[in-house]
Structure 1
Amino acid sequence: MTDNNLSKKVNFLIFYSIISTTFFLLFVVYLNIQKNKNLDELTVKRINIVDETGTNLRMVISNEVRQHPGIINGEKLKPRERPSGMIFFNSAGDECGGLVYDGNKNNAGMVLSVDKFRDDQIMQLQYMENTKNNARKYGLQLWDYPKENTNRERNKRFEKLDSINDKLLKKNEYQKMRLDSLLMEDRLFIGKNFNKDVGLFINDKTGNPRIKIYIDNNDTPKIELLDVNGKTID
């Protein structure tokens, strides 16, 4: 190889190195500008908000197709249909509540849920509507779980229910779940029911209505005290 050819190759490599380095630096500067740029509009299908480590979820904002199925007691739930909205996650990595919404020609609704630690929802600010017949329910809803740490067993039993086709057998198995204290019980609702009663409705720990203070659709104020069988206490 002549000195002239060698010199040409060296010069080419130097030129290539300078050009490559320049483009790389320009690319880094561009990324830095984009990182600190204020955006007026952003169109995405899902956003994951994570902690400072970049690995643990804190919030997911998503459409209905890409929505997170949830994590309870460290276990990611199976894929399921969930509405668009925001799902919140605590420092333990579990879902701890969310805001979801939807609406179509049949139904509409929006709920803000608060979950029990390592379990499902216990409180909701909710709006639900059957848009075909204009029937609506909205207000504050509270639930209780009779036993602690029943989420895993409850999910196993629900999976078993999904495999049962016989309606009567499925109903009996569901009732058994209630007898085994695996299901949440309605405790309180403040708002407007589907039957258009507006007021305060309190149930006992097994879900039986016990106190009703409300105004019915005819503007008649009522106070009802009920026993465990639903009969009025005089």
Structure 2
Amino acid sequence: MKIDASRAIGAYAAVTTFATLWLVLGANAGPKTATFATIDVQRINIREPDGTLRMTIASRDRMPGIIVAGRETPHPDRPQAGMIFYNDEGTENGGLVFSGALKDGKPTNLGALSFDRWRQDQTVSLSSDEMGDDRQAGLAINDRPDRPVDFPTVARLVRQPAGAERDAALRAAGVGIAPRACLGRMRDKASALALRDAAGRKRLELRVAADGQATIDFLDDRGRVTRSISDVAR
């Protein structure tokens, strides 16, 4: 039987095209889930279909800098592993970080879960911090400035010598904090709840000391105790 070469080539091309389309369409139509028993990686980026970064899980050495609207600036101080969260525009808005080791023969440990204000720093944090015998753990709530932080400027300023001029420049770049509430185990081994005004001044504190003595202190805007209630008076 005589074979027409041109027809054979045409038939081959048709079959190949059909097979390729079947593979592509079949792959797209089927499930895209892969199952692994163990994955060893240094970093995982979770992204939306349009590429927007929503979460990063990373080792200490692969943690990202500060990312705002998809643009990254080196972080001045984040020597921990963990998980960073990003909002709908791809801007960091919280995270979970942790670290710990023996340093100079003393145990150190840190674990913190925090959430940020829009393009600002953390406003809510739950943390445990240990440096030898110096330990504290608790929940903190903070106010932050209304304007966003200029992170590239801050990254440059933190490398400069500390002083009044640098502090003023940092404030101008949007850096600021006014603590509002704190509940936890303090460094002096007391458990306490402290409430502050909009300027960050402590105005009320409920405390149980390590020896069990309980007090309620009311303070003025200069931090002076104006009234104190203690269980010793009972």
Q: TM-score range by the shorter chain?
A: 0.7 to 0.9
- Residue type matched to 2:54 in 1? R
CA distance in 2, matches of 1:230, 1:158: 33
Secondary structure, in 3 states, of the residue corresponding to 1:105? strand
Paired residues in the alignment total 219
* Pair 1:55–1:210, CA change in 2 (3 A): same
CA distance in 1, matches of 2:188, 2:175: 29
CA distance in 2, matches of 1:178, 1:204: 23
Q: Match for residue 184 of structure 2?
A: 191
Secondary structure, in 3 states, of the residue corresponding to 1:162? coil
Percent identity between the two aligned chains: 26
Q: Match for residue 74 of structure 2?
A: 79
**Contact 2:94-2:122 at 8 Å conserved across structures:** yes
1:18-167, aligned counterparts within 5 Å?
36-51=33-48, 53-72=49-68, 74=69, 76-80=71-75, 81-106=78-103, 107-130=108-131, 133-145=132-144, 147-152=145-150, 156=153, 159-164=156-161
Unaligned 5+ segments in structure 1 are 1-17, 165-169
* Pair 1:161–1:48, CA change in 2 (3 A): closer
Q: Deviations over 1:171-228 (max 9, x none)?
A: 3235536876741121111111111120211122222222110101111001111112
TM-score calculated relative to the size of structure 2: 0.75
Q: How big is the shift at 1:142?
A: 0.8
**Contact 1:177-1:183 at 8 Å conserved across structures:** no
CA distance in 2, matches of 1:183, 1:39: 45
Q: Deviations over 1:32-71 (max 9, x none)?
A: x9964421211111111111x2511111110011111122
TM-score calculated relative to the size of structure 1: 0.75
Secondary structure, in 3 states, of the residue corresponding to 1:159? helix
> Which one has the bigger helix percentage?
1
* Pair 1:222–1:134, CA change in 2 (3 A): same
**Contact 1:69-1:82 at 8 Å conserved across structures:** no
CA distance in 2, matches of 1:151, 1:179: 9
CA RMSD of aligned residues (A): 3.5
CA distance in 2, matches of 1:35, 1:178: 47
Secondary structure, in 3 states, of the residue corresponding to 1:173? helix
Q: Match for residue 9 of structure 2?
A: none
> Which one has the bigger strand percentage?
2
Q: Deviations over 1:115-138 (max 9, x none)?
A: 1122111110111111xx322111
* Pair 1:212–1:103, CA change in 2 (3 A): same
